[in-house]
Chains A and B, each alone.
Chain A
């Protein structure tokens, strides 16, 4: 049973043109589902729309169209008090541990704000905050510290405690470990895994770092230019990437040791500007496999027998090995 079901989510941002209003489509008809206790990893380069998906889900920015269902309820139509109450189902851990906590409040007060939002009476907040700190592996004494007195990892733990305070079923982690040292990153990822196991939380885990996703994600969705180009179980996508863009992302993971030869140069150039009007496949201009059809017809997200979805005209045509060498094509 999916806790989160997203259907054709489209997010647009207004841009003020010289004479008319221009809209920028950051997320274009994205669909996915997350089951309780599972993690969907959302990957893609800067500007691919990952964070816009998160912001739309959290109703920080209202989506232009599409449907988001959380715990069986449509989120996109909620307003005012109903939306406020419903927010307890879904919480977010932010990217920047130096900006996501209110610097004028202590760590404990930051968590206390979430408890207030959840309607926990003030006298109970102290003990609840201590419990939450314990859950995320922080000493209770840290409740009295200000964010600037904590390290990045500690701050991120406070952020997680704050997110857990309202008792959510879904946790959206937007680059939640990207700003952390590698060693601290592993600790936070393990903490997230433990919490998931204990509470059956569903995670939407956004990251540009494929090795992080390989560690934490059960399913992986790859975004490019506002669309999902590949979606499958983590095992499938990492073992048998079908979209040339996914292959390029995977080839970019640094591998320790000389066991595997590093292949680069699969993707050339930069992503087109986000407001470029493209027909056909958005990846075609950079794709080593692009043919005429790619420039004319936009590929649909098609599932294979294993349920592994890919939006590429050549997904099945070329085996993985050939693509990796395909930069000459």
Chain B
């Protein structure tokens, strides 16, 4: 937001004050738990170099049993080791970084694209809308994983490509939601007024439409992070995601799956983290939706 032209503008209780946010958290146990989880997760990812007992890529001969099998939790490796003798906890912490960064970046990109497409299509209408929304339909009609695998097999697996590919398919839902909101917003009298006073399209979209879309955007961006993390995990699990030896949760599951009978911690550690993270993002998204838009009906 640009600085208001009125110098003495008194600050007023915004629709979502900090106090209301906190009190709403206090009355909503799932939200409180999910926000706590997300904070812990972020801390774990950020502090990975400090928290991790070992470097994530280091292989330890003493981390393998005499027969070459990974060893379980304990013995200097809190969550055990993987078949290469690497510390699972360290990989988990560093994997959180990869998963979170990819999830947030990919979904951030998708959100930007979705908002622009939806806003422009809904506001301008006409042939612009037809082209943009048909494009949205086309992208939506692709099977997500198949589309990602096809794209990555062309571009080659790398963290950057995973982000781009996820963003390329994930903007569509938000584009549709934003467009439908804009369609109803543009008939509101203050938007019609903005048009009749001769403001530019750009300014109308920026100052008279966008601020009213922010609650929706925040909610769907939050929910979308969970989906993006899941896709990243799926892609890594399928071997077209984050390339080895970098740790990501999906890839840890992929590598651990062959050993799950003798070393179940290889699956459980990243699996539990994945489930909790996705759950936390979803619950936080639900909570934000209720917080920012108390009158809106339930919708997904």
Contacts and interface: CB of A to CB of B under 8 A. Distances in A.
Interface of A: 58-60, 83-88, 90-92, 94-96, 99-106, 108-110, 112-114, 116-118, 122, 125-126, 129, 141, 143-146, 149, 159, 162, 165-166
Contacts, number: 95
Given A94-B189, A102-B190, A122-B5, A60 B195 contact: yes
B62 to A, nearest CB: 62
A143 B5 CA distance: 10
Given A59-B196, A85-B198, A91-B197, 15 more contacts: A60-B192, A60-B195, A84-B198, A87-B198, A94-B192, A103-B190, A105-B207, A109-B4, A109-B5, A109-B9, A113-B208, A116-B203, A118-B197, A144-B8, A145-B12
A106 B4 contact: yes
B6 A126 contact: yes
A173 B192 CA distance: 14
B196 A58 contact: yes
Contacts of A106: 4, 6, 9
Contacts of A96: 189
14 contacts: A92-B192, A92-B193, A92-B196, A94-B192, A101-B190, A108-B6, A109-B5, A109-B6, A113-B194, A144-B6, A144-B10, A145-B12, A165-B197, A166-B198
Nearest to A87: B198
Contact of B9 (A90, A110, A143): A143
B188 interface: yes
B199 interface: yes
A11 to B, nearest CB: 15
A159 B190 CA distance: 10
Interface in B106-164: none
A113 B207 contact: yes
Nearest to B4: A109
B247 to A, nearest CB: 44
B12 A149 contact: yes
Given A60-B196, A105-B207, A125 B189 contact: no
B197 A114 contact: yes
A254 B212 CA distance: 42
A117 B189 contact: no
Interface string B173-194: 0000000000000001110111
B66 interface: no
B7 A126 contact: yes
B295 interface: no
Contacts of A58: 196
A71 to B, nearest CB: 15
A303 to B, nearest CB: 32
Contacts of B23: none
Interface centre among B7, B10, B189 (most CB of A within 10 A): B189
A88 B208 contact: no
Interface string B3-33: 0111111101000000000000000000000
A198 B220 CA distance: 52
Nearest to B203: A116
Contacts of A84: 198-200
Contacts of B10: 144-145
A84 B201 CA distance: 10
Interface string B201-216: 0010001100110000
B198 A104 contact: no
Interface in B74-92: none
B12 A146 contact: yes
Which 5 pairs, one residue from A and one from B, show the smallest C-beta to C-beta distance?
Answer: A87-B198, A144-B9, A100-B189, A108-B6, A84-B198
Nearest to A83: B198
A87 to B, nearest CB: 4
Contacts of B9: 106, 108-109, 143-144
B126 to A, nearest CB: 12
Contact of B5 (A83, A99, A112, A159): A112
Nearest to A57: B196
Contacts of A113: 194, 197, 199, 203, 207-208
A96 to B, nearest CB: 6
Contacts of B192: 60, 92, 94
B274 to A, nearest CB: 38
B199 A117 contact: yes
A116 B9 CA distance: 18
A141 B7 CA distance: 11
Nearest to A107: B6
Contacts of B189: 94-96, 99-100
Contacts of B12: 145-146, 149
B197 A143 contact: no
A144 B8 CA distance: 7
Interface in B46-105: none
A90 B200 CA distance: 17
A145 B8 CA distance: 10
Given A104-B212, A108-B9, A99 B190 contact: yes
Nearest to A123: B5
Contacts of A109: 4-6, 9
A129 B193 contact: no
Nearest to A112: B5
Interface centre among B194, B196, B199 (most CB of A within 10 A): B196
